[in-house]
Structure 1
């Protein structure tokens, strides 16, 4: 029953909340659809952390998409052996994972340690930063440590097959039974951040700067001093 909840019910609930939550927020809270930048408070750490995070996260996401979505039979068919794929996934993915982790650590430390940045941050900002840091850390740990401690484990025979079974609405929790704990923690925390996504500043990921050019409204904020004089 626990396996069924963790690997069938929980993922579908998180995906549903992700979709419905975005629709609801876009319709009812477009004014809050913002990254709430704190660049004007502190710029150096933000620039370094953001650069490292974005340089690392794009290859990491592409690696996840390929690893989860492409069956090993397909990679074998184009001449990529299992060993070659494994080395690329572990060390290539591990490298970009470490870069992402370094960036996320800087951004999280900045948000917690800089008094002015923390004052600007909401509770959800702090939770999201902490959770993202954990997700990236446990992902790097799984890639560089767990894979080496469990040399016989191949996530493409378990996690990938389970994930694809979710996509075709034929979920099979049995594939996750023998998966090492760090991988399970990485997956569950990943689904959790998807469920939280629509209700945090992460929604700004879907915004394109060009959208602002077509807006028919401009917001002006009157300072208290000027408002009093009027």
Structure 2
């Protein structure tokens, strides 16, 4: 029953809360659909931490999509054998993971140690920062330490198949029983952050001003004084 809850019920609950929560918040709380800026309180650490985090997290997300969403047989069909994939996952993924981790450490340290920033922060801000730091740290730990200690473990034979099964409505919790603890914590924390997403500042991710690219220029004209 524990495995059934952790690897079937809990993920589906998180996905449901993610979807329904976004719809509810958008319909009832559009004016707070943003991230409160604390740049005017402290700028240097925010700029460095935010830059590192965003530079690292985008490749990390695409790496997760490839590793979890694409079967290894498909990779081989495109000429990417297992050795090539693992080299890319360890070295390229590890590099961008480290960049992401460095950014999260700076941002979390700033939020907890800068008195004015902490006072401006809500409880959800502190929880989100801590949970994101845990997710990134456990991802790096699993990539570097767990893979070194258990070199025979291939998450594409277990986690990836289980993950794809969630979206095919046929998840197999038995696949996760042999997964190392670091990967399990990383996966569960990842789903937990999705459940929290609609109720935190993370919603600002969906507010990227893409319309700025195609909108008309704003013209300013000097007022002639008489």
TM-score by length of 2: 0.92
Distance in 1 between residues matched to 2:7 and 2:154, nearest whole Å: 18
For residues 28-177 of structure 1, the aligned pairs below 5 Å read 28-177=28-177
Residue 165 of structure 1: how far off its partner (Å):
0.5
CA 1:4–1:106: 2 relative to 1, 3 Å: same
Distance in 2 between residues matched to 1:149 and 1:87, nearest whole Å: 16
Tell whether the 8 Å contact from 1:63 to 1:89 is kept in structure 2 after alignment: yes
Q: For structure 2, which runs of at least 5 residues remain unmatched after alignment?
A: 213-226
Structure 1 consecutive aligned stretches of length 4 or more whose deviation exceeds 6 Å: none
Residue 201 (structure 1) aligns with: 201
For residues 3-42 of structure 1, the aligned pairs below 5 Å read 3-42=3-42
CA 1:210–1:67: 2 relative to 1, 3 Å: closer
Deviations 1:93-114 (A, max 9, x none): 1111010000000000000111
Report the count of equivalent residues: 212
Q: For structure 1, which runs of at least 5 residues remain unmatched after alignment?
A: 213-230
Residue 219 (structure 2) aligns with: none
Residue 174 of structure 1: how far off its partner (Å):
1.0
Query: Aligned Cα RMSD in Å?
Result: 1.1
Distance in 1 between residues matched to 2:141 and 2:91, nearest whole Å: 12
Deviations 1:176-196 (A, max 9, x none): 110000000000000000000
CA 1:127–1:81: 2 relative to 1, 3 Å: same
SS at match of 1:79: coil
Distance in 1 between residues matched to 2:24 and 2:78, nearest whole Å: 43
